[in-house]
Chains A and B, each alone.
Chain A
Amino acid sequence: MSILLDSDTRVVVQGIGSQGTFHARRNADYGTKVVAGTHPKRGGSTWAELSVPVYTGVADAVAKEGANTSMIMVPAPFAADAILEAADAGVDLIVCITEGIPLHDMARVYNTLYPRRDDGSFTREGRPVLVGPNCPGLISPGKANVGIIPGEITRPGNVGLVSRSGTLTYQIMYELAAAGVGISTCVGIGGDPIIGTNFLDVIPRFVADPETEAIVFVGEIGGTEEQRVGEWIAQHAPDTPVVAYIAGYTAPPGKQMGHAGAIVREGGGGGETAADKKTALEALGIAVGTNPTETADLMIARLAG
């Protein structure tokens, strides 16, 4: 098994311009079932590079091609509507690669997808899973690849990987693969302040997945989500081997380090620095690497021991 993505995944692509076509073609070459594209004006035509139909909307791709997953590659000004359209059409998984979506748009999208309860929690049950935006996508090696993760750097296996960063994740997957360690599913959740799927929406799925034996999670400065992950693991899955890596030990406060969410607020609440996160996780019994190589080595050692 794997999580979220497997050989039954059927992908409709929203945004079939040059980037969308390039990556959809790579995903299809990997073996992913890309079944349709959407375009507001080209409905009824064929997406030549993929040899699949183009529909005006996601609903048609669901009804006629059995699409259950959407990959969104439309420009940022249109991405919020694209996400809501995919949700309305009834797909199970929405993977939004688009970066630069306005924060107000994502706040509205998140609260629409996952209606807020009176106690401040969100209704996720029965709702589609949104991964991203501003993320590299997901891969279940050997089964399906949706997004821009280079499939050739990894191999099938039993480590679940979840990360806020793209290239950093590739680096760790690549080092694990070099040591013969493969991946069940890798989920790139994205580096924006508001993302559809956070660590704690993924990790319980890994724990429940019989094929996933160990978990690597890659966080960074900003927010305190990583600490909540540590607490959840300590409480619910203390026997699962988990290794973490946090990027940004040397990031100065008040500066945004590339990702919109990667910022240690000046004078802000504690726990947002990489060192704070590492200390908190280690206190909960989770090994934390200080760089990608050490992180991969820690995982390799845990699996060997």
Chain B
Amino acid sequence: MEYQGKDVFRQIGVPTTPQGRVARSAEEAEAFAAAFGVPVMVKAQVLTGGRGKAGGVKYCADAAAARAAAESILGLDIKGHVVALVLVEPASDIDAEFYLSLLHDRVSKGYKVIASVEGGIEIEQVARDTPDKVVQHDIDPTKGLDLAAARDVIASAGLPQEAAALLVTLYEGFVATDATLFEVNPLIRTKDGRIIALDAKVSIDGNALFRHPDLAALDSSDDGDSLEAQAKAQGLQYVKLDGDVGVLGNGAGLVMSTLDVVSQAGGRAADFLDVGGGADAEKMTEALSLVLSDPQVRCVLVNIFGGITRGEEVAKGVLAALERLGDIPQRLVVRIDGTNAEEGRRILTEADHPAVVPAAKMLEAAQQAVALAGKGSAA
């Protein structure tokens, strides 16, 4: 979120707004504004853009105004994110607004600077409406970005020359913090001529957090879906979706494909869950209980391809997980394919567990799961 992004900017030396404070209530916001004693901005702290348009950013001349602003912003739904925090910070006198960002680019296999004289609006919109106002520059990670190159980029984008030094600082911090995105929108020139970051959007590579334990907090979000947060803590790859067929399988591609097949069978998946390699009883128990803790799930489709993990081990893992979980109202369509798949299905059939429906083919399994979800959970 913005306040965390600005903390990162302050650490790496990128000039930004005066230090603000994060409020959880209108009373807190009022008190912070009163303590600042100057006009403030009250800004919704959510992990999405378009806050201004949604009424989530307000200028407040005094503490009473800050209270009223916080009242209207807290609880606001911005693109599915409910505002729980507002940032209260001294307002800046804006002379001009620009756009500046640094990001990883998979196409050029390096980093990219994007700069524009059009700040304060979404860059995608600028790129659509006035593409000539968006300047992009690739950076070779083995060479970096020096001041001369930064000056060229800044000049070609039409930004004030002083922004070049800020860009170099931004770049050095981007590398030092293993960031995948630094977006400054807007970058502003104040009326007294300073160039500062008025907003900060920062994403740090989760795979690099072992080098940055202090930045781990950025990775966890206050407004994150609780099931997703729980999955993350357990090291499971889980994405909550909005259907009623719970899906779990091994391998990201296979699970993605399973979601597609559920949709082709006329249903809607409730989640994406990759249990990864192995799929032993313990992993299966964790994964199943996570999927089942979503109240929308009316049936679960377990889709496992046995490679090195053989079919009979998968079957035993599923049965052991069910034993640990006890009685569950939902049925499980279990589809095992690959190495020793027949043996796995035989084990499931012989166990004759009331919750388990064995299946052989992916599409058939999805059709069964969708039909069972349609009948409801009282099976």
Given A152-B339, A165-B254, A169-B253, do A103 and B205 touch, yes or no (CB 8 Å)? yes
Interface residues of A in 165-185 (CB under 8 A from B): 165-171, 174
B338 and A258 within 8 A (CB): no
- Out of A108, A111, A148, A166, name the residue touching B253 (CB < 8 Å): A166
Count chain B CB atoms within 10 A of each CB in A108, A164, A170, A260 and give the residue with the most. Answer: A170
CB distance from A115 to the nearest CB of B (A): 8
Given A103-B104, A103-B205, A103-B208, do A120 and B175 touch, yes or no (CB 8 Å)? no
A166 and B251 within 8 A (CB): yes
Per-residue A-contact encoding for B89-115, CB less than 8 Å = 1, 0 else: 000000000000000101111110000
Question: In the assembly, what is the distance between CA of A223 and CA of B140, in Å?
Answer: 20
Q: Identify the closest chain B residue to A256 (Cβ).
A: B239
Contacts of A194 in B (CB 8 A): 104, 106, 109
Contacts of B269 in A (CB 8 A): 250
Per-residue B-contact encoding for A88-126, CB less than 8 Å = 1, 0 else: 000000000000111111011011100110001010000
- Out of A150, A167, A259, A293, name the residue touching B249 (CB < 8 Å): A167
Cβ of A12 under 8 Å from chain B: no
Contacts of A226 in B (CB 8 A): none
Given A170-B338, A193-B104, do A258 and B250 touch, yes or no (CB 8 Å)? no
Contacts of A290 in B (CB 8 A): 260, 264
Contacts of B104 in A (CB 8 A): 103, 107, 193-194
A120 and B338 within 8 A (CB): no
Contacts of B257 in A (CB 8 A): 168, 171, 245, 247-248, 291-292
- Out of B259, B264, B361, name the residue touching A251 (CB < 8 Å): B259
Per-residue B-contact encoding for A122-150, CB less than 8 Å = 1, 0 else: 10000000000000000000000000111
Cβ of B293 under 8 Å from chain A: no
CB distance from B368 to the nearest CB of A (A): 15
A153 and B256 within 8 A (CB): no
- Out of A26, A77, A171, A248, name the residue touching B338 (CB < 8 Å): A171
Give the A-B pair count, Cβ closer than 8 A: 170
A77 and B210 within 8 A (CB): yes
Contacts of A40 in B (CB 8 A): none
Interface residues of B in 332-353 (CB under 8 A from A): 337-339
A100 and B256 within 8 A (CB): no
A163 and B207 within 8 A (CB): no
B250 and A167 within 8 A (CB): yes
Cβ of B237 under 8 Å from chain A: yes
- Out of A76, A171, A249, name the residue touching B254 (CB < 8 Å): A171
Question: In the assembly, what is the distance between CA of A133 and CA of B232, in Å?
Answer: 22
Cβ of A191 under 8 Å from chain B: yes
Question: In the assembly, what is the distance between CA of A218 and CA of B122, in Å?
Answer: 33
CB distance from A43 to the nearest CB of B (A): 27
Q: Identify the closest chain B residue to A221 (Cβ).
A: B256
Cβ of A64 under 8 Å from chain B: no
Looking at A45-53, A234-242, A261-269, the stretch in contact with chain B turns out to be: A261-269
A153 and B363 within 8 A (CB): no
Interface residues of B in 271-323 (CB under 8 A from A): 272, 274, 277, 305, 307-308
Question: In the assembly, what is the distance between CA of A77 and CA of B205, in Å?
Answer: 13
Cβ of A204 under 8 Å from chain B: no
A258 and B207 within 8 A (CB): no
Contacts of A257 in B (CB 8 A): 239, 252, 255-256, 272
CB distance from A135 to the nearest CB of B (A): 12
CB distance from B337 to the nearest CB of A (A): 7
A101 and B339 within 8 A (CB): no
Q: Identify the closest chain A residue to B255 (Cβ).
A: A258
Cβ of A255 under 8 Å from chain B: yes
B124 and A248 within 8 A (CB): no
Residues of A within 8 A of B (CB): 26, 76-77, 100-105, 107-108, 110-112, 115-116, 120, 122, 148-150, 152-153, 163-171, 174, 191, 193-194, 218, 220-221, 223-224, 245, 247-252, 255-262, 267-268, 274, 290-293
Residues of B within 8 A of A (CB): 104, 106-111, 122, 124, 138, 140-142, 175, 178, 180, 205, 207-208, 210-211, 237, 239, 241, 249-257, 259-264, 269, 272, 274, 277, 305, 307-308, 337-339, 361-363
Can you list 9 A-B pairs with a CB-CB distance of less than 8 A?
A101-B207, A103-B104, A193-B106, A223-B107, A258-B251, A258-B252, A268-B124, A274-B260, A293-B362
5 closest Cβ contacts across the A-B interface?
A: A165-B253, A258-B252, A167-B251, A168-B253, A102-B208
